[in-house]
């Protein structure tokens, strides 16, 4: 009797788990199908080449032009800028938390860091508009209200807690005995961090950076508020740009009729975004795998 | 008269006077004093938790890393107080080698495991020579000379521990502290480390913590018996093992507790 009951429980747990896995798989499949279907419709009207390599993006007003490079440019500004800020600073924060801060201080700092990660992104957008941009303007009054630099800085602040937290976990996973070995040879804390901890954790630092880049590519709300909605291929970070995500928001929130080429263009942009993130993650995984260092 | 006093002082490389160690409220070491002469192998024995490892780690200030630890008393290394105000513990640790319970090679190549310590301490000589010399002294050269640039983790446990000894030797220390260096090794590797210690003792002063009394008997010249944070008895190893003067020592050595 008991064994039958156990069997039922076992079986239902198995089914629940399987169902949960199926949700993620089916969702992913649906997203890909939807993106693909609408994108194909789009590319029936706009050649792939002129989409990918066109330098002029004017989808909503005639004459229409669907060169995606200005949007890619906007996204790149945000990604490169934010990662350039968040990876080094996040690493320093992690070093401080794991190697210098006392346990007591750490017990206050780590939850604060996680609090920072929990702030809604739209609030970060306000923060960029009402604080970061004015500060930038203080240095140079000529910059635009909406600008890529402000967006990059605010996204950098947003992804900082994630990088710091992941790197902190990585450092703390290094056995204390390896640190002691370093100290016993007359090394100071900085030398132990630079020559032992960071090399030993570089694959995990890389993984954290890849996650951060993916998050920065996909970030929407704060970027739309901070960097604006002017699709532009520009080398100047102090003017308004539009990222791929902000464009998708613009189209879906606006009064663009469904089914038209303007509407379909957002799916093409979405597909490109998806592919970029995918390639990023594949490269990241490869690199993390190659540089993995055994710790035992 | 004074000449002979000087001579005996010269031979003492490490002198401990009234050392107390506290972890927070708890006192782990109670007023321990000892003198270690140059070139001896001194074994610290005693049951688990008797404070022998704590004591060892206060000899190169590794206890500094335990936030709650407080050390009072003097440790004189070549006449200089290690706990004096002007002493830089980082500098000090470069002069006193340490080998730990579990082999703890760095996640680097065999070669770089040896050269890293000297390099961060300003060594700018021939590293090839240094690596060869250190590995030879640690009896590891023949086994690894063809794969110096492989990861240190490719070595067996016993080889890793000898690498850690080589790493300590590369710093050219006078004293090497060993904290149960064989506790994670199989009997054959243990034999290798013990043979190595016997070879090293001509050049280095070795202070070794061990829970293995046979090991203390085989390799040490002097034995110090710790119990509940007190140094109960010490003397020549042969005398401690054959004719201890304290009841507690005898009980421990004959296996009645511990």
Task: Tell me the pLDDT tens digit for each residue of B197-219.
Answer: 998 988 899 999 998 888 999 99
Whole-number pLDDT of residue A229: 86
- The answer to whether A177 contacts B151, with C-beta atoms less than 8 Å apart, is no
- Residue B134 region, left (φ>0) first, then alpha (ψ -120 to 50), else beta? alpha
Whole-number pLDDT of residue A294: 65
* DSSP secondary structure letters along B24-35: TTEEEEEEEEEE
Average pLDDT, chain A: 90
Select from A134, A127, A198, A202 the least CA-distant residue to A157.
A127
Distance from CA of A296 to the nearest CA of B (A): 7
* DSSP secondary structure letters along A260-278: SHHHHHHHHHHHHHHHHHH
By the 10 Å C-beta count (0-12 exposed, 13-18 middle, 19+ buried), B258 is classed as middle
Reply yes or no on whether the pLDDT at B1 is more than 90.
Answer: no
pLDDT digits (tens, 9 = 90+) for A95-140: 999 999 988 999 999 999 888 888 999 999 999 999 999 999 999 8
Residues of chain B neighbouring A200 (CB-CB closer than 8 A): 106-107
In chain A, which residue's Cα lies nearest the Cα of B151? A294
Whole-number pLDDT of residue A180: 94
Answer whether A178 touches B (CB < 8 Å). Answer: yes
Tell me which of A80-84, A253-257, B160-164, B237-241 is least confident. Answer: A253-257
Decide: A159 and A216 in contact? Cβ < 8 Å.
yes
Decide: B73 and B130 in contact? Cβ < 8 Å.
no
Decide: B123 and B70 in contact? Cβ < 8 Å.
no
- The answer to whether A183 contacts B65, with C-beta atoms less than 8 Å apart, is yes
In chain A, which residue's Cα lies nearest the Cα of B114? A185
Domain boundaries, chain B: 2-253
pLDDT digits (tens, 9 = 90+) for B154-193: 999 999 999 999 999 999 999 999 999 998 888 888 998 9
CA dihedral B166, B167, B172, B177 (to 10 degrees): -90
Reply yes or no on whether the pLDDT at B2 is more than 50.
Answer: no
- Secondary structure element (H or E) that encloses residue B155, with its range: none
Average the pLDDT over A142-150 and give the result.
92
The pTM score is 0.82
Reply yes or no on whether the pLDDT at A257 is more than 90.
Answer: no
- The answer to whether B120 contacts A177, with C-beta atoms less than 8 Å apart, is no
In chain A, what percentage of residues exceed pLDDT 70?
Answer: 97
In chain B, which residue's Cα lies nearest the Cα of A184? B93
Whole-number pLDDT of residue A56: 92
CB pairs under 8 A between A and B: 75
Residues B2-253: name the CATH superfamily: P-loop containing nucleotide triphosphate hydrolases (3.40.50.300)
pLDDT digits (tens, 9 = 90+) for B77-106: 988 899 988 899 999 999 999 999 999 999
Q: How far is CA B55 from CA A16, A43, A93, A177, in A?
A: 56, 76, 34, 18
In chain B, which residue's Cα lies nearest the Cα of A102? B67
CA dihedral B150, B154, B160, B164 (to 10 degrees): 30
Residues of B with CB under 8 A from a CB of A: 60, 62, 65, 67, 90-95, 97-98, 100-102, 104-108, 116-117, 120-121, 151, 153, 164, 167-168, 171
pLDDT band at A296 (very low <50, low <70, confident <90, very high): low
Whole-number pLDDT of residue B255: 81
Strand ranges in chain A using DSSP code E only, listed in sequence order: 57-58, 65-66
Average pLDDT, chain B: 90
In chain B, which residue's Cα lies nearest the Cα of A180? B62
Average the pLDDT over A73-101 and give the result.
94
pLDDT digits (tens, 9 = 90+) for A14-48: 999 999 999 999 999 999 999 999 999 999 999 99
In chain A, which residue's Cα lies nearest the Cα of B163? A181
DSSP state of A293: -
- Select the residue of A102, A103, A294 nearest B107 (Cβ to Cβ): A294
- The answer to whether A177 contacts B60, with C-beta atoms less than 8 Å apart, is no
- The answer to whether B116 contacts A296, with C-beta atoms less than 8 Å apart, is no
Query: CA-to-CA distance for B243 and B222, rounded, in angstroms?
Result: 14
pLDDT band at A290 (very low <50, low <70, confident <90, very high): confident
Reply yes or no on whether the pLDDT at A165 is more than 70.
Answer: yes
- Which residues is B41 bridged to in the sheet? B206
Q: How far is CA A237 from CA A76, A228, B43, in A?
A: 11, 12, 67
A positions 94-123 inside 8 Å of B (CB): 102-103
CB atoms closer than 10 angstroms to residue A157: 20
Distance from CA of A201 to the nearest CA of B (A): 10
Answer whether A184 touches B (CB < 8 Å). Answer: yes
Answer whether A185 touches B (CB < 8 Å). Answer: yes
Decide: B168 and A185 in contact? Cβ < 8 Å.
yes
- Select the residue of A180, A185, A188 nearest B167 (Cβ to Cβ): A185
Decide: B181 and B5 in contact? Cβ < 8 Å.
no
pLDDT band at B7 (very low <50, low <70, confident <90, very high): very low
- The answer to whether B67 contacts A103, with C-beta atoms less than 8 Å apart, is yes
In chain A, which residue's Cα lies nearest the Cα of B63? A180
Residues of chain B neighbouring A175 (CB-CB closer than 8 A): 104
- The answer to whether B90 contacts A188, with C-beta atoms less than 8 Å apart, is yes
Q: Which two tokens stand for residue B195?
A: 């043979």
By the 10 Å C-beta count (0-12 exposed, 13-18 middle, 19+ buried), B27 is classed as middle
Question: Which ipTM value was assigned to this complex?
Answer: 0.89
- CB-based contacts of A80, cutoff 8 Å, min separation 6: A152
Query: CA-to-CA distance for B16 and B74, rounded, in angstroms?
Result: 6
Q: How far is CA A11 from CA A1, A3, A23, B131, in A?
A: 15, 12, 18, 60
- Select the residue of B92, B97, B100 nearest A177 (Cβ to Cβ): B100
By the 10 Å C-beta count (0-12 exposed, 13-18 middle, 19+ buried), A176 is classed as exposed
- Select the residue of A102, A177, A186 nearest B171 (Cβ to Cβ): A186
């Amino acid at each position: 009797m008991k064994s039958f009951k156990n069997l039922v429980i076992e079986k239902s747990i198995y089914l629940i788990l399987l169902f949960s896995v199926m949700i993620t798989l089916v969702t992913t499949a649906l997203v890909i199908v939807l993106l693909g279907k609408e994108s194909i419709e789009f590319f029936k009207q706009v050649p792939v080449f002129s989409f990918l390599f066109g330098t002029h993006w004017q989808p909503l007003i005639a004459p229409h032009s669907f060169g995606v490079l200005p949007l890619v440019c906007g996204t790149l500004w945000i990604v490169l800028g934010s990662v350039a800020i968040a990876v080094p600073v996040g690493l320093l924060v992690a070093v401080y938390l794991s190697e210098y801060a006392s346990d007591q201080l750490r017990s206050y700092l780590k939850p604060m860091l996680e609090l920072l990660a929990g702030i809604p992104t739209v609030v970060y957008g306000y923060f960029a508009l009402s604080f970061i941009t004015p500060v930038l303007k203080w240095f140079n009054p000529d910059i635009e209200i909406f600008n890529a630099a402000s967006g990059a800085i605010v996204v950098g602040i947003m992804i900082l807690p994630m990088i710091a937290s992941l790197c902190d976990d990585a450092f703390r996973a290094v056995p204390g005995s390896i640190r002691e070995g370093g100290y016993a040879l007359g090394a100071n804390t900085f030398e132990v961090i630079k020559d032992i901890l960071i090399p030993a954790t570089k694959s995990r630092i890389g993984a954290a950076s890849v996650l951060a880049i993916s998050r920065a590519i996909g970030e929407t709300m704060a970027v739309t508020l901070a960097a604006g909605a002017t699709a532009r291929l520009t080398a100047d970070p102090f003017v308004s740009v539009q990222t791929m995500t902000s464009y998708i928001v613009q189209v879906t929130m606006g009064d663009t009729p469904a089914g038209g080429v303007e509407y379909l263009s957002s799916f093409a942009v979405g597909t490109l975004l998806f592919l970029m993130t995918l390639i990023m993650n594949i490269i990241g995984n490869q690199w993390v795998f190659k540089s993995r260092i055994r710790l035992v | 008269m004074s000449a002979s006093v000087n001579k005996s002082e010269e031979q003492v490389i490490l002198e401990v006077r009234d050392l107390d160690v506290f972890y927070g409220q708890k006192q782990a070491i109670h007023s321990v004093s000892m003198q270690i002469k140059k070139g001896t192998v001194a074994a610290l024995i005693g049951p688990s938790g008797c404070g022998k490892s704590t004591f060892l780690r206060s000899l190169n200030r590794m206890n500094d890393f335990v936030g709650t630890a407080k050390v009072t008393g003097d440790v004189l290394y070549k006449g200089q107080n290690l706990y004096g105000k002007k002493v830089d513990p980082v500098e000090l640790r470069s002069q006193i080698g340490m080998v730990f319970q579990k082999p703890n090679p760095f996640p680097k190549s065999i070669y770089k495991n040896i050269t890293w310590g000297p390099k961060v301490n300003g060594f700018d000589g021939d590293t090839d020579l240094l690596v060869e010399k250190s590995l030879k002294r640690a009896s590891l050269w023949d086994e690894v000379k063809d794969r110096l640039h492989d990861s240190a983790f490719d070595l067996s446990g016993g080889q890793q521990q000898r690498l850690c000894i080589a790493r300590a030797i590369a710093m050219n220390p006078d004293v090497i502290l060993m904290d149960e260096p064989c506790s994670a090794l199989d009997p054959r590797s243990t034999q290798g480390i013990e043979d190595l210690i016997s070879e090293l003792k001509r050049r280095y002063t070795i202070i070794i913590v061990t829970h293995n009394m046979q090991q203390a008997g085989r390799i040490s010249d002097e034995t110090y018996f710790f119990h509940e944070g007190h140094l109960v008895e010490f003397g020549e190893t042969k005398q401690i093992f054959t004719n201890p003067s304290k009841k507690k020592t005898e009980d421990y050595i004959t296996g009645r507790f511990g």
